[in-house]
Amino acid sequence: MARYCYKNDLPLLGICYGAEIIAQTFGGSLRRMPRPIRGNLEIRPDRPNPITGDKKSISVFESHGLCVARLPEEFDRLAGSEYCPFEIFAHRAKKIFGLQFHPEKSGQDGLDVIERFVKL
């Protein structure tokens, strides 16, 4: 699916495991976390971007035991946390985004992320 979206220039939003699949599909890597994380966390985007806009921080819900350890070459980090270096990442030229968290369980900040993606 990720390669299909890439080839056909279709938007793709990978959520949690979906972000991990995107990273691996395009040459990134994963690592097992010292302990699984489950709960709310505040993350700070590195800069304004299409997914978080100009928000300085967003509250997100996390539930995972793996995280993206290395991004593929054509991707950039948009936000990280003390637990995962790549909480949000994006392809440099295509509308392909990975979210290590669950926006659907992240309250208004998560709904805003989904809405921004849908409007791309």
Among residues 67, 82, 102, 115, the one annotated as catalytic is 102
Average per-residue pLDDT for the chain: 96
104 is catalytic: yes
**Distance between CA atoms of 98 and 118, rounded to whole angstroms?**
14
Half-sphere exposure of 112 (CA within 13 A, CB side): 14
pLDDT, residue 1, reads 87
Question: What is the percentage of the chain residues whose pLDDT exceeds 70?
Answer: 100
Q: What pTM was computed for the model? A: 0.96
Report whether 24 contacts 61 (CB < 8 A): no
**Distance between CA atoms of 73 and 96, rounded to whole angstroms?**
13
At 9-63, the pLDDT tens digits run 999 999 999 999 999 999 999 999 999 999 999 999 999 999 999 999 999 999 9
5 is catalytic: no
Show Cβ contacts of residue 119 under 8 Å, excluding neighbours closer than 6 positions.
Answer: none
Answer yes or no: is pLDDT of 66 > 90: yes
User: What is the distance of C-alpha 56 from the center of its chain?
Assistant: 16
Among residues 42, 87, 104, 115, the one annotated as catalytic is 104
Show Cβ contacts of residue 18 under 8 Å, excluding neighbours closer than 6 positions.
Answer: 98, 99
**Distance between CA atoms of 36 and 66, rounded to whole angstroms?**
7
CA nearest 115: which of 58, 68, 63, 31?
A: 58
102 is catalytic: yes
pLDDT, residue 46, reads 97
User: Residue ranges of the domains in the chain?
Assistant: 2-118
Among residues 5, 16, 67, 84, the one annotated as catalytic is 16
pLDDT, residue 32, reads 96
Fold assignment, 2-118: Rossmann fold (3.40.50)
Query: In the predicted model, what is the mean pLDDT of residues 64-92?
Result: 96
pLDDT, residue 84, reads 94
